[in-house]
Chains A and B, each alone.
Chain A
């Protein structure tokens, strides 16, 4: 095994993409050559980052329960403001970092057809990778916010420059929605910092005496919620997502759906639940209601979409509903479910966007009606697309199944296990909620299979379709990698669950110490 503990692996991992970006900036000469070179450098950088993150994951000791975070790096930046450069990871963060670094090279493989300002495009994506990894590594609240919010800059430019016809509307909506949520979170963070005197997450997550009183928690919870709900996105603040997805270039959609939406869930797991446990428990009915609306309503909306990307965007809203449903069931099933669903959805929705991108690159149309009978001309593609479709429906054996099933199990069990009396009544609705949420799985089968039928089967009506070429080498590799990972996680879910369980135990123990969570055994899967 490679040992990386000796050097500041997290800083290297975080800033590796920026180093690649600087290298690309320094390129000079013939524009065509520069474009080619920047593609190469960017892809290589993301691959190196991926290898580094694999080293990190192998070196990380998932079984160690204390300390909660490993590979800690800390440098005080501004003592008067209490801002420090503080990095560290637990199992949750490592899993999400791996997801990010895996999806980045795939996103770049989906960018073969980009010909406008290639150099800037590559720089934007590398900067984006740095800030996302930084978000997952940051252990200082303010640092987290800085990385979290910096995502807006590259993403704004990616949609604004390389997006579709309504890109300006979409990118402004994305930017302003996210910013509004985030500043409210910033104020909540400032309040926590002032009340507790520290912004160090390692202290905030372990010291029970730093937990605030319930009425303060309620306000702060709303501040955090504003940000994470927009980022997730939850109904009714999801409206930026379909626009952003439709207008973003394929790679932008992949990163947006694959990683950026997860930052919202990650925020719930890192901040809302452990720092504000009582407020979180109090808001369960609220979050459950929104989750159910997201699952049912977004699925119904997805059913009637004419645009493939928009349909997948709405399905993302529905799938993220399962994450919040699980998270706010307050038991180990739920935490496992949320985590598993995040990773699974990250892989599956990216793969679906990749598939749509493959079609779009060939015909420049995302309308479902353009297609029909694609299976006749693109058989290899059809196999991949079918597999991804089945994963999105959560067919057993794919990663999608584990997350959604666990999530339903969590909310179903929420009512049957002991809670502190104050909260017990909230969770009594668990079975009803599960019943409604389960309908989402049926609906997802409806829209995904219908999509598949309309695009892939039937007569070839459009002459353009009959000339389509099957997936090329790069696309094959990308889809194959994604498919393999989805299958692996689906068949052997303990690969992931065992890795993240100790970290989730920390979270559960924290909830437990405040009497809002129950002692459910770790599901044996």
Chain B
């Protein structure tokens, strides 16, 4: 092995070079060509995904660079590929949306690609410096994306809010990292791992971990760090929102697992207590606050908060089964969210996007296919069998009860019933209310396809649960240490 073996970085390098290439192309092209750039971006994203799959095929044990500070292994690779694929779908859905509104800007695909590059670096980080660089790269691109409709008040508000609170979270994170560094004298995960195993009750390390957790949970929009999510979801342009709900969530969840289970596995009893409370609170907030939301975007924001709660429940068990359940939950969360956001993006009346739940009134009469797809996705998110959302929740509960966390499982199941209220409210609006006005037709083919695929996945997801569990087993197989 040479000193400068950069093979683990190749996917990120490809992303970065192509993003910059697109930026230069965009500078010379009129904004009406955004969709061409989006197509190119999708091409690059998919190439990167294929590259990661190829690299992992060649080196099943993973690749590492910079003396193990940057690692591409099954775990990070799986997350990266899921993010890349989901982002491609987001971009394909976004380009028509911007084109119809005539608000296309060539920076859009570039910023998305830069954010994804940050997420990829974040997932590969095995060192707090790389970790912080990845996180900031992702965040800065996301702040700009939130304000993408810069001539609209709400969008600017969303961006500023996200930036200010995000900066605060970054500060907390950095403070936590400095505490950890001050205590241990190292920043590499494997070295912290050794230290934490030897000093599991170190108060300074615990406080450091607490701050780091706060920073990551902010990105994950877990309660009580979720306040920004509904406002940012609502203010940002819808295609950006759909990206927010998927990419950063996946990246933050991945890095959370990585940090808890590699450097800080020695302090498992400490962080379990924290996560149990956060998870219980997040499930409750997601379920209760979603009630009474009139905007579909805010509703989906709270829905994603409650889903995060279930993922955290899986992670907080600290068991292999819990992690498998959390990963499977995330995979199907992405699949369902894409469909739900495709419906949101399809909601346009007289050329203007509408985003209230009430705007869906009676669409079952006017657009039966769209309504049926959305209904299936909503039932799935509510966790009603035979939809796949039930099986993923079931798996989480299975893991929780196996880890003797019965009360949290009971809490979670009650939260899921309360949360079911707003999902079936959407179905009620679509099926039982009087139609007001039809949505603009035809729907962009990418939207229709996404809704069809996502609802089909929700409906027959049971058949896919087996392969997804195999995938999660693979992702966790070369994971550092599991109890």
Chain B residues with CB under 8 Å of A183's CB are 413-414, 416-417
Given contacts A78-B469, A186-B394, A190-B401, A161 and B431 within 8 Å (CB-CB): yes
A46 and B432 CA atoms in complex are apart in Å by: 26
Given contacts A81-B398, A150-B384, A157-B431, A186 and B413 within 8 Å (CB-CB): yes
Given contacts A77-B462, A81-B395, A149-B385, A180 and B431 within 8 Å (CB-CB): no
Chain B residues with CB under 8 Å of A150's CB are 384-386
Given contacts A152-B384, A160-B432, A184-B410, A190 and B417 within 8 Å (CB-CB): no
Q: Contacting B379 at CB < 8 Å: which of A153, A160, A193?
A: A153
Give the total of A residues in contact with B, Cβ under 8 Å: 34
Contact with B along A167-187 (1 / 0, CB 8 A): 110011001100110011011
Q: Is A145 an interface residue (CB 8 A)?
A: yes
Check if A78 sits within 8 Å of B465, measured CB to CB. yes
Given contacts A77-B462, A146-B385, A160-B432, A186 and B420 within 8 Å (CB-CB): no
Chain B residues with CB under 8 Å of A463's CB are none
A186 and B395 CA atoms in complex are apart in Å by: 11
Distance in angstroms from A1 CB to nearest chain B CB is: 34
Give the nearest-CB partner of A79 in chain B.
B466
A145 and B466 CA atoms in complex are apart in Å by: 19
Contact with A along B151-186 (1 / 0, CB 8 A): 000000000000000000000000000000000000
Check if A187 sits within 8 Å of B413, measured CB to CB. yes
Q: Is A241 an interface residue (CB 8 A)?
A: no
A176 and B414 CA atoms in complex are apart in Å by: 10
Check if B421 sits within 8 Å of A176, measured CB to CB. yes
Check if A194 sits within 8 Å of B398, measured CB to CB. yes
Given contacts A150-B384, A183-B416, A186-B413, A172 and B424 within 8 Å (CB-CB): yes
Chain A residues with CB under 8 Å of B413's CB are 183-184, 186-187
Q: Is B428 an interface residue (CB 8 A)?
A: yes
Q: Contacting A176 at CB < 8 Å: which of B410, B417, B431?
A: B417
Give the total of B residues in contact with A, Cβ under 8 Å: 32
Contact with B along A1-16 (1 / 0, CB 8 A): 0000000000000000
For the residues of B in contact with A, the DSSP-based class is helix
Q: Is B70 an interface residue (CB 8 A)?
A: no
Chain A residues with CB under 8 Å of B410's CB are 184, 187
Q: Is A80 an interface residue (CB 8 A)?
A: yes
A102 and B320 CA atoms in complex are apart in Å by: 48
A157 and B379 CA atoms in complex are apart in Å by: 12
Contacting A at CB under 8 A, from B401-433, are: 401-402, 406, 409-410, 413-414, 416-417, 420-421, 424, 427-428, 431-432
Chain A residues with CB under 8 Å of B131's CB are none
Contact with A along B377-391 (1 / 0, CB 8 A): 001000011100011
Distance in angstroms from A348 CB to nearest chain B CB is: 31
For the residues of A in contact with B, the DSSP-based class is helix
Distance in angstroms from A305 CB to nearest chain B CB is: 26
A83 and B431 CA atoms in complex are apart in Å by: 33
Q: Is A235 an interface residue (CB 8 A)?
A: no
Check if A187 sits within 8 Å of B409, measured CB to CB. yes
A81 and B324 CA atoms in complex are apart in Å by: 11
Q: Contacting B385 at CB < 8 Å: which of A117, A145, A191, A194?
A: A145
A81 and B395 CA atoms in complex are apart in Å by: 8
Check if A156 sits within 8 Å of B424, measured CB to CB. yes
A147 and B462 CA atoms in complex are apart in Å by: 13
Check if B428 sits within 8 Å of A78, measured CB to CB. no
Distance in angstroms from B457 CB to nearest chain A CB is: 16
Q: Is B143 an interface residue (CB 8 A)?
A: no
How many A-B residue pairs have C-beta atoms within 8 angstroms? Tell me.
86
Give the nearest-CB partner of B376 in chain A.
A153
Distance in angstroms from A175 CB to nearest chain B CB is: 6
Chain B residues with CB under 8 Å of A194's CB are 398, 401-402
A146 and B386 CA atoms in complex are apart in Å by: 6
Check if B417 sits within 8 Å of A180, measured CB to CB. yes
Check if B469 sits within 8 Å of A190, measured CB to CB. no
Give the nearest-CB partner of B409 in chain A.
A187
Q: Is B397 an interface residue (CB 8 A)?
A: yes
Chain A residues with CB under 8 Å of B402's CB are 194
Chain B residues with CB under 8 Å of A176's CB are 417, 420-421
Check if A175 sits within 8 Å of B424, measured CB to CB. yes
Chain B residues with CB under 8 Å of A399's CB are none
Give the nearest-CB partner of A223 in chain B.
B410
Distance in angstroms from A135 CB to nearest chain B CB is: 11
A194 and B409 CA atoms in complex are apart in Å by: 14
Chain A residues with CB under 8 Å of B409's CB are 187, 190
A407 and B394 CA atoms in complex are apart in Å by: 37
A83 and B465 CA atoms in complex are apart in Å by: 11
Chain B residues with CB under 8 Å of A81's CB are 391, 394-395, 398, 465, 469
Chain A residues with CB under 8 Å of B385's CB are 145-147, 149-150
Given contacts A78-B466, A145-B385, A183-B416, A167 and B432 within 8 Å (CB-CB): yes
Contact with B along A133-164 (1 / 0, CB 8 A): 00000000010011101101100110011000
Given contacts A183-B413, A183-B414, A191 and B401 within 8 Å (CB-CB): yes
A248 and B48 CA atoms in complex are apart in Å by: 54
Check if B465 sits within 8 Å of A160, measured CB to CB. no
Contacting B at CB under 8 A, from A184-237, are: 184, 186-187, 190-191, 193-194
Check if A187 sits within 8 Å of B406, measured CB to CB. yes
A190 and B421 CA atoms in complex are apart in Å by: 24
Chain B residues with CB under 8 Å of A180's CB are 414, 417
A157 and B372 CA atoms in complex are apart in Å by: 12
Distance in angstroms from B230 CB to nearest chain A CB is: 23
Contacting A at CB under 8 A, from B10-65, are: none
Chain A residues with CB under 8 Å of B379's CB are 153
Chain B residues with CB under 8 Å of A80's CB are 324, 466, 469
Give the nearest-CB partner of B425 in chain A.
A172
A81 and B431 CA atoms in complex are apart in Å by: 34
A377 and B416 CA atoms in complex are apart in Å by: 52
Chain A residues with CB under 8 Å of B469's CB are 78, 80-81
Check if B432 sits within 8 Å of A190, measured CB to CB. no
A176 and B413 CA atoms in complex are apart in Å by: 12
Give the nearest-CB partner of A81 in chain B.
B395
Chain B residues with CB under 8 Å of A172's CB are 421, 424, 428
Chain B residues with CB under 8 Å of A171's CB are 428
Give the nearest-CB partner of A188 in chain B.
B401
Give the nearest-CB partner of B472 in chain A.
A80
Given contacts A77-B466, A145-B385, A193-B398, A161 and B432 within 8 Å (CB-CB): yes
Distance in angstroms from A260 CB to nearest chain B CB is: 16
Check if A190 sits within 8 Å of B394, measured CB to CB. yes
Chain A residues with CB under 8 Å of B390's CB are 146, 149
A315 and B134 CA atoms in complex are apart in Å by: 66
Distance in angstroms from B288 CB to nearest chain A CB is: 14
Check if A179 sits within 8 Å of B465, measured CB to CB. no
Distance in angstroms from A229 CB to nearest chain B CB is: 16
Chain B residues with CB under 8 Å of A167's CB are 432
A160 and B384 CA atoms in complex are apart in Å by: 17
Give the nearest-CB partner of A219 in chain B.
B406
Given contacts A77-B462, A77-B466, A168-B432, A190 and B386 within 8 Å (CB-CB): no
Contact with B along A437-449 (1 / 0, CB 8 A): 0000000000000
Contact with A along B316-346 (1 / 0, CB 8 A): 0000000010000000000000000000000
User: Can you list 24 contacts pairing A with B, beta carbon distance less than 8 Å?
Assistant: A77-B466, A78-B466, A80-B324, A81-B391, A81-B395, A81-B398, A83-B462, A146-B386, A146-B390, A147-B385, A149-B385, A149-B390, A150-B384, A160-B431, A160-B432, A172-B428, A176-B421, A179-B420, A183-B413, A184-B410, A187-B397, A187-B401, A187-B409, A190-B397
Given contacts A183-B413, A186-B397, A187-B397, 5 further A-B contacts (CB under 8 A): A78-B465, A142-B394, A186-B394, A190-B397, A194-B398
Chain B contacts to A: CB under 8 angstroms: 324, 365, 379, 384-386, 390-391, 394-395, 397-398, 401-402, 406, 409-410, 413-414, 416-417, 420-421, 424, 427-428, 431-432, 462, 465-466, 469
- Among all A-B residue pairs, the 5 with the closest Cβ atoms: A183-B413, A146-B385, A160-B432, A180-B417, A149-B385
